[in-house]
Amino acid sequence: MIEIDIRRNLTALKSLQIRANQPDFLLTWEKSPDEIKAVALIAETFKEMHRRRIPFRIFETGLAISIFRDKSTRTRFSFASAANALGLAVEDLDEEKSQISHGETVRETANMISFLTEAIGIRDDMYLGEGNRYMREVAAAVDEGHREGVLHQRPALVNLQCDLDHPTQSLSDLLQLKSHFGSFEALRGKKIAMSWAYSPSYGKPLSVPQGIIALMTRFGMDVTLAHPEGYDLVPEIVDIARSNAKSGGGSFSQVTDMDAAFKDADVVYPKSWAPYHVMQRRTQLLQARDKAGLSELEKECLAHNARHQSWECTERNMAFTRGSNALYMHCLPADISGVSCEHGEVSAPVFERYRLATYHEAGYKPFVIAAMIFLARKTNPIAELERLAQF
Amino acid sequence: MIEIDIRRNLTALKSLQIRANQPDFLLTWEKSPDEIKAVALIAETFKEMHRRRIPFRIFETGLAISIFRDKSTRTRFSFASAANALGLAVEDLDEEKSQISHGETVRETANMISFLTEAIGIRDDMYLGEGNRYMREVAAAVDEGHREGVLHQRPALVNLQCDLDHPTQSLSDLLQLKSHFGSFEALRGKKIAMSWAYSPSYGKPLSVPQGIIALMTRFGMDVTLAHPEGYDLVPEIVDIARSNAKSGGGSFSQVTDMDAAFKDADVVYPKSWAPYHVMQRRTQLLQARDKAGLSELEKECLAHNARHQSWECTERNMAFTRGSNALYMHCLPADISGVSCEHGEVSAPVFERYRLATYHEAGYKPFVIAAMIFLARKTNPIAELERLAQF
Amino acid sequence: MIEIDIRRNLTALKSLQIRANQPDFLLTWEKSPDEIKAVALIAETFKEMHRRRIPFRIFETGLAISIFRDKSTRTRFSFASAANALGLAVEDLDEEKSQISHGETVRETANMISFLTEAIGIRDDMYLGEGNRYMREVAAAVDEGHREGVLHQRPALVNLQCDLDHPTQSLSDLLQLKSHFGSFEALRGKKIAMSWAYSPSYGKPLSVPQGIIALMTRFGMDVTLAHPEGYDLVPEIVDIARSNAKSGGGSFSQVTDMDAAFKDADVVYPKSWAPYHVMQRRTQLLQARDKAGLSELEKECLAHNARHQSWECTERNMAFTRGSNALYMHCLPADISGVSCEHGEVSAPVFERYRLATYHEAGYKPFVIAAMIFLARKTNPIAELERLAQF
């Protein structure tokens, strides 16, 4: 573990251009490279401050609301940790207990729960075309409430995973890469293989691979996306990755062969997801509450997946990577062959070799979330950070 | 939005007679007019302090327990916000997880959960004749615990809605009226129409209309209660309203015609409720867990309600109000025709015209709850408020 | 209520030998007598500080995680109160929402939720041979995480009841005894009857009686364990009690007659539990999710229990105790004949006579938990306590 130089981070932060009045972090591609770096550097600084037991509490009181429209342990605890470290109390909005849905009620409820609220974290990744839209509905509602004096403050919104992006994950991954290679600059020209991998489940969201290809291209990495034919991501996001590669000085390519993607890779990210068109059908079936249709779709997809069991990260294909020693990444939990399932995304020996590395990767997330809220809610965040860090 | 003059509020507070050792806020009619005003003025001051980001945290640590015997989002978040702003951590008592019922266990459990507890908020509005009684059981239990040295402090009890009253709502409404008309004094002689309105649901509690007629009569308002024949409130509470009108210098009248109630009204509060005798039958059926009986009662009531679909607040009957421009009030969520239901309590254009006003109305509630706890738990609340407000 | 002399407690604490780096409190018999006394004295001091409203908050921020694998109200609120008083926010790990089980996932999840976590409280008392083992799995996982730099701090683990011991209960009981008799020394030679008692339920854990016989023998008490034939505790724990009696200067004996146990007793602890061999079968059936088998076992056990309805604490057998006036103890809730059930562990008059005493007994638990966390997480706890207590 490299000890982080807080002073160097503060200096780097001072050179960045950060727009004021950006209360939300919904998609990395809506943020400038400087803004991405700012979140990353603040998160890294918070993590180091936590290690040294220097508090970064900025609120005396206030609520942080979490809205989870999907099961979650890790993200739930990351959000709770981040909110708590900043001085906020977490209140979970349980939609089953409160009968919230889209439409009129979002506008009203968003205001009703926000009178003393400083941050809202939302996870809504089940419905393609819905998750990010819902977040924007909430944002518009609290915008109106704040403008009209209903809310004394505009709560910061944090995307804790939607149908399009998973920014708290991809920024944690970015910090893991920075830590592994030494700096943002060192990422230039490094090859990362974002590869589909076999899993015995189906319906996993697309937001992790989409988040990775859209973000890492901006840091000059050579991003290779690999998946079997038909396992496409949302086309608009693939276009964003391609365009980001151009502007970011990296490259973006696609292959349909895991081994080819691993060839000379510095980093591999083997991870299952459901094909784009399956998620579209699944969304329609979920919205129609068509249980029979969902069960039929699941059967069909699992059969389809089963033809790609060879898409597994093993010592055999890790041998193709640079020095046989690429950094293995995963957002966790991984489907580990012979451990959590019979056949999965990764073999047990490879996972065990990188197990602690994936824990370190996950360990950035609470601090990334805290950094997003901090940056959104402080008018002079860098000066405030300097004060907190006691420099 | 009028900027609140904190100094003026403090001066007004100093002139009020407030009894010591009143740990609970269960029914407005148990409090003197000065005590009602004290809660209202402290709440208004807290709200202004929050707007100016002046903290009013008075506890370093301590629990605030919420007990919800009915679904709730708004009140849950209001209580959580109030507790948090005062420095308390909310712990929800989930009775399903803990098998609490009436009788011996209330006495025991109330003490078991209160060793480090500073406030308890209870919502129990489902059972006529039960909700307020349950609160008094809890109060008696913690009284004994405190007297016998089991509890080092006597937690403050706050009624978050019972079968008889909804004091955190009616005090929020009072502050909305004060803000609208400029002062408590300006309420004298103003006409408020508390009217039943049609809703496609049934079984809504009586506590909101009862709270309104009992409280606003004390401030010299001309209160008109309107409902179709048979939709009576609890007779004892109507008697209280009548008596309060006498002592408060206002008036109280009853009509069976929404339009008549709206005539020259300065304020209208159109809201559905279930008839008193229906709630009595419903309570018996709920206690007997008679699902068939409940379903039969629901069918019967909805059919009965359907005959009163014309009891809707629309531009047509708003035209009868003073200057066609009465203040529309609602505790939210409203049943809005064509928005949240086909036919409801209020037409979409009327609701939209007053939508933000109802948000402002709701925005007082966290501060009202905080004021109730503050007043109950501080031995010298006004001096303490002065200290907190930095005057 | 005796006023606690904080200065005397601090002096006593300074004379104790306490090992450093003991992050967990899992079983009382893993701790030295001095370490037991240290927790007890710190807890008693915290309780007195709370009475005098002297805060003992030591954390600015941080999480305390509770994991309840069985229903709980009292322990849940005790843990929440303890965590809050120390400055931590409670986050409940709901395993249903997060699909955690034994094996690989415990290791991973324990780390994922602990990045900013200072304490973890676990209740797992349903499965004989499982509860304590699970706690050790969590402990090993966070040990590794801390050693490898994944976690910046090693969270303290507190056993909130397992299959073997219930240390937060037995230490509360110890403080109740200290308060009743005046000092630890005064416990020497006092007779405590830990007796089985009839209950209309079955499957109650063994951890309370096991905790009592293992702990009180260490303080020189004459411990008599009484139960009908076949209602054995875990044999290894009975051996520990026997061995502790030898080293602690007390005595340990077993009888199969409640009246004999009560003879000249200074303290009685009548409490139902399920026989050891029944819990073993029940564990197998629960793990196999064999509902029919569980229902069969329940029927069989209740029939067996019914033959021992005479095992009830009444004024009749209380008359056998020293001066007819032994201290009655219970971990609550008790099965009270004619109150919470037809026939139970204790008659209504006896329970009512000691009801407030049992409330006082329960009142130690939040402070015991706080003391365990405090002792585990502070490098110089006694000096820190002195500072907090303002001496």
Q: Which two tokens stand for residue A245?
A: 């590669």
Same domain, A210 and A298: yes
Tally C-beta pairs within 8 A across A and C. 78
Distance of alpha carbon B21 from alpha carbon B14, whole angstroms: 18
Instruction: Give the closest of C50, C340, C362 to B116, CB-based.
Output: C50
Instruction: Give the closest of C72, C77, C85 to B91, CB-based.
Output: C77
Q: Are B156 and B23 in contact (CB under 8 A)?
A: yes
Q: A: neighbours with 3+ CB pairs under 8 Å?
A: B, C
Which residues touch C282 (CB under 8 Å, ≥6 apart)? C128, C203, C274, C294, C297
pLDDT at A173 (0 to 100): 98
Which residues touch C26 (CB under 8 Å, ≥6 apart)? C132, C135, C136, C139, C157, C159, C162, C165, C167
Mean pLDDT for chain C overall: 94
Tally C-beta pairs within 8 A across B and C. 78
pLDDT at A391 (0 to 100): 65
| C118 phi and psi angles, rounded to 5 deg | -105, -20
Distance of alpha carbon C239 from alpha carbon B286, whole angstroms: 52
Distance of alpha carbon B97 from alpha carbon C66, whole angstroms: 15
Distance of alpha carbon B123 from alpha carbon A210, whole angstroms: 45
Closest residue in A to C112 (Cα) is A74
Are B97 and C359 an interchain contact pair (Cβ–Cβ within 8 Å)?
Answer: no
Query: Is C206 a member of any domain?
Result: yes
Are C117 and A81 an interchain contact pair (Cβ–Cβ within 8 Å)?
Answer: yes
Distance of alpha carbon C346 from alpha carbon A270, whole angstroms: 62
Residue A16 burial (C-beta neighbours within 10 Å; 0-12, 13-18, 19+) = middle
**DSSP secondary structure code for residue B100 in this structure:** -
Q: B: neighbours with 3+ CB pairs under 8 Å?
A: A, C
Are B81 and A115 an interchain contact pair (Cβ–Cβ within 8 Å)?
Answer: yes
Are C98 and A72 an interchain contact pair (Cβ–Cβ within 8 Å)?
Answer: yes
Are B98 and C366 an interchain contact pair (Cβ–Cβ within 8 Å)?
Answer: no
Q: Which two tokens stand for residue B3?
A: 């900027």
Instruction: Give the closest of A93, A98, A116 to B85, CB-based.
Output: A116
Say if residue C333's pLDDT is above 60: yes
Sort out which chain A residues have CB atoms less than 8 A from C112's CB and list them: 73-74, 77, 332, 359, 362
Distance of alpha carbon A48 from alpha carbon A359, whole angstroms: 16
pLDDT at B69 (0 to 100): 83
Residues of chain A with pLDDT under 70: 1-3, 96-104, 391
Sort out which chain B residues have CB atoms less than 8 A from A100's CB and list them: 73
Query: Is A1 a member of any domain?
Result: no
Same domain, B287 and B175: yes
Region of B89 (left: φ > 0; alpha: ψ -120 to 50; beta: rest) is beta
pLDDT at A126 (0 to 100): 83
- Give the mutation candidate from C59, C60, C61, C113 for the A interface (greatest A CB count, under 10 A): C61
Q: Which two tokens stand for residue B233?
A: 């409130």
Same domain, A152 and A177: no
Say if residue C220's pLDDT is above 80: yes
Distance of alpha carbon C11 from alpha carbon B261, whole angstroms: 75
Same domain, B78 and B201: no
Task: Provide, rounded to the nearest whole percent, the portion of chain B with pLDDT above 70.
Answer: 97
Are B360 and A97 an interchain contact pair (Cβ–Cβ within 8 Å)?
Answer: no
| A257 phi and psi angles, rounded to 5 deg | -150, 115
Are C149 and A333 an interchain contact pair (Cβ–Cβ within 8 Å)?
Answer: no
Q: Are A159 and A104 in contact (CB under 8 A)?
A: no
Closest residue in C to A86 (Cα) is C61
Are A116 and B363 an interchain contact pair (Cβ–Cβ within 8 Å)?
Answer: no
Same domain, B227 and B310: yes
Distance of alpha carbon A18 from alpha carbon A380, whole angstroms: 10
- Calculate ∠ Cα A303-A307-A309, nearest 5°: 110
Least confident span in B48-57, B312-321, C190-199, C281-290: C281-290
Question: Would the CA dihedral through B346, B348, B353, B358 be positive or negative?
Answer: positive
Query: Is C170 a member of any domain?
Result: no
Nearest to B145 by CA among B125, B120, B165, B123: B120
Q: Which two tokens stand for residue B158?
A: 């706050």
Condensed to tens digits (0 to 9), the pLDDT of residues C224-266 reads: 999 999 999 999 999 999 999 999 999 999 999 999 999 999 9
Give me the CATH number covering residue B224. Answer: 3.40.50.1370
Closest residue in C to B116 (Cα) is C81
Distance of alpha carbon C53 from alpha carbon C76, whole angstroms: 23
Say if residue C391's pLDDT is above 80: no
Query: Is B55 a member of any domain?
Result: yes
- Tokens 């982080």 sit at which residue? A4
Same domain, A147 and A177: no
Q: Cis ω on the peptide bond leading into residue A333 (within 30° of 0)?
A: yes
Closest residue in A to B336 (Cα) is A104
pTM: 0.96
Q: How long a stretch of residues is chain A?
A: 391
Same domain, A262 and A301: yes
Chain B interface, Cβ < 8 Å to A: 1, 50-51, 53, 55, 57, 71-74, 76-78, 80-81, 84-85, 87, 89-90, 332-333, 336, 339-340, 356, 359-360, 362-363, 366
Are A366 and C97 an interchain contact pair (Cβ–Cβ within 8 Å)?
Answer: no
Distance of alpha carbon A217 from alpha carbon A212, whole angstroms: 8
User: What is the rounded average pLDDT of the residues C277-281?
Assistant: 90
Q: Are B156 and B119 in contact (CB under 8 A)?
A: yes
Question: Would the CA dihedral through A248, A251, A254, A260 be positive or negative?
Answer: negative
- Give the mutation candidate from B44, B68, B73, B356 for the A interface (greatest A CB count, under 10 A): B73
User: Which residue range is the domain that position B103 belongs to?
Assistant: 6-165+365-388
pLDDT at C1 (0 to 100): 47
Instruction: Give the closest of C65, C112, C152 to A74, CB-based.
Output: C112
Q: Are A344 and A310 in contact (CB under 8 A)?
A: no
Closest residue in A to C101 (Cα) is A340
Instruction: Give the closest of B73, B81, B363 to A63, CB-based.
Output: B81
User: What is the rounded average pLDDT of the residues C101-115?
Assistant: 82
CA distances from C141 to C101, C137, C151 (A): 14, 6, 11
Distance of alpha carbon C180 from alpha carbon C192, whole angstroms: 13
Say if residue B52's pLDDT is above 80: yes
A112: distance to nearest CA of chain B, Å?
6
Condensed to tens digits (0 to 9), the pLDDT of residues B168-208 reads: 999 999 999 999 999 999 999 999 999 999 999 888 999 99
pLDDT at A9 (0 to 100): 97
C346: distance to nearest CA of chain B, Å?
14
Least confident span in A308-317, B102-111, C162-171, C319-328: B102-111
How many Cα atoms within 13 Å fall on the side-chain side of residue B223? 27
**DSSP secondary structure code for residue B163 in this structure:** S
Q: Are C68 and C96 in contact (CB under 8 A)?
A: no
Query: Is A233 a member of any domain?
Result: yes
Same domain, B26 and B158: yes
Same domain, C153 and C278: no
C116: distance to nearest CA of chain A, Å?
6
Are A148 and B89 an interchain contact pair (Cβ–Cβ within 8 Å)?
Answer: no
Same domain, B126 and B73: yes
- Tokens 């459990």 sit at which residue? B109
Sort out which chain A residues have CB atoms less than 8 A from B80's CB and list them: 63, 89, 91
Are A112 and B72 an interchain contact pair (Cβ–Cβ within 8 Å)?
Answer: no
A31: distance to nearest CA of chain C, Å?
27
pLDDT at B102 (0 to 100): 45
Query: Is A345 a member of any domain?
Result: yes
Which strand (E) or helix (H) includes residue A44? helix A33-51
Condensed to tens digits (0 to 9), the pLDDT of residues C341-370 reads: 999 999 999 999 999 999 999 999 999 999
Condensed to tens digits (0 to 9), the pLDDT of residues B249-305 reads: 999 999 999 999 999 999 999 999 999 999 899 888 988 899 999 999 999 999 999
Query: Is B224 a member of any domain?
Result: yes
Closest residue in C to B100 (Cα) is C73
Gyration radius of chain C's alpha carbons: 21
User: What is the rounded average pLDDT of the residues B47-66?
Assistant: 97
**pLDDT band with cut points at 50, 70 and 90 for residue B127:** confident
Q: Are C49 and C21 in contact (CB under 8 A)?
A: no
Same domain, C342 and C370: no
pLDDT at C73 (0 to 100): 84
Query: Is B1 a member of any domain?
Result: no
Same domain, A376 and A250: no
Counting the structural domains of chain A, the total is 2
